[in-house]
Amino acid sequence: METIETRVQKQLLDNLPFVLYSKPNSNEIIGFFQNNETLFEVNDFTEKGFILASFDSAKKYLIPEQESEIIHFNTNTIKFKFVEKEFLNRISESAENFKVLVSKGIKAINNNVFKKVVLSRTETFDLINFNLIKTFQKLVQLYPSTFVYCFFHPKIGNWIGATPEQLLKVKELNFETISLAGTQKDSGSSEIIWGDKEKEEQQFVTDYLVSRLKDVASEVHYTKPYSVKAGSIWHIKTDVSGILNADSSLKEVVQLLHPTPAVCGLPKEIAKAFIIENELYDREFYTGFLGELNCNFRDNSVSSDLFVNLRCMQIKDTQAYLYMGCGITKDSNPEKEWEESVNKSMTMKWVL
């Protein structure tokens, strides 16, 4: 049987698009290997395949089911040893710039411009003897409860990540999504205690999702908030589910949800404009979304399974571009937000 390594090497030698991904708590890796180099776009969300969409939704690309060989691999053979290591962060300039950005966001909140905004930064990491497949496999082993992926297209580049956040899962009219916010580094304590800032931040996301989904669904249910661990970081999570209206389209539902307050802010359009004006870099596919779009290769029933593109990096030549963001509310502290962004950068640094 062909291994992941040999199949991916063949695809890279031919300079052809592919995606590998593993769903949360799965022992399976799925690969879409496109048989041509065409860059397909998603227009009305009736297309079938694997979608990769940008934060601003201007770019929505597809590796089509019909144009690809789909192969299933087993994850049980993946075994790596990890050595704990300290990383030197390029603190001075990037730290100060990020704290200034956060302070500007807090000031805007205090001036009632918006209730919440998610601000992010990027960081470069020099690569030595980088191996794409081994890095992907390390992520699968290290973060089994996340959606792990590796996406390559000669006209887009190479993105890789392990995201804990689902945007939307739809099968027929049944849907699932989550409200995920708040960040706390694992301290080894058996009890996770959350401050008012984190609770409020997560409640913003839940309230937004529930209110928007009521416009397109006949039923909306949600759980009480609970703590969930992704790698070495804890978050507050609420599960949201229900039944969509028969006349609700997938495109309509996705546009309602994306970008969620967990990666943008509230109100959405005002926060989004602030981000684009003040972050001073292009997020591209970071905080966009990706995953299965109208796929039926499993049991002939059509389903979509989309995730928010967090904890990710872009690979360019001998450098990795890492992306980290923090939810800013009136109670935010610039120094603590910087520390949170450093903690989040470790998700990718552990495997490099």
pLDDT over 80 at 81, yes or no: no
The per-residue pLDDT for range 103-161, each reduced to its tens digit, is: 999 999 999 999 999 999 999 999 988 999 999 999 999 999 999 999 999 999 999 99
Please give the pLDDT value at position 229. Answer: 86
Between CA 214 and CA 205 the distance in angstroms is 14
The per-residue pLDDT for range 223-234, each reduced to its tens digit, is: 999 999 877 789
pLDDT over 80 at 299, yes or no: no
Mean pLDDT of the region 270-277: 96
Residue 186 pLDDT class (50, 70, 90 cuts): confident
Range in 89-103, 155-169, 252-266 with the lowest mean pLDDT: 89-103
Q: Containing domain of residue 163, as a range?
A: 4-349
Q: What angle do CA 144, 241, 60 make, to 5 degrees?
A: 65
Please give the pLDDT value at position 93. Answer: 67
Mean pLDDT of the region 4-33: 96
Between CA 237 and CA 165 the distance in angstroms is 9
Mean pLDDT of the region 73-92: 64
Between CA 307 and CA 295 the distance in angstroms is 15
289-295 and 116-126 as β-strands: parallel, antiparallel, unpaired? unpaired
First to last CA, the chain: 28
pLDDT over 80 at 250, yes or no: yes
Please give the pLDDT value at position 343. Answer: 86
Contacts of residue 182, Cβ cutoff 8 Å, sequence gap at least 6: 194, 198, 199, 201, 202, 234, 235, 236, 327
pLDDT over 90 at 349, yes or no: no
Please give the pLDDT value at position 297. Answer: 77
Please give the pLDDT value at position 306. Answer: 98
Sign of CA dihedral 285, 286, 288, 290: positive
Mean pLDDT of the region 332-345: 92
Q: Is the peptide bond before 267 cis (omega within 30 degrees of 0)?
A: yes
The per-residue pLDDT for range 274-298, each reduced to its tens digit, is: 999 999 899 999 999 999 999 987 7
- Whichever domain contains 74, its CATH number is 3.60.120.10
pLDDT over 60 at 196, yes or no: yes
Please give the pLDDT value at position 92. Answer: 53
CB 225 within 8 A of CB 269: no
Structural domain total, the chain: 1
Please give the pLDDT value at position 347. Answer: 80
Mean pLDDT estimate for the chain = 92
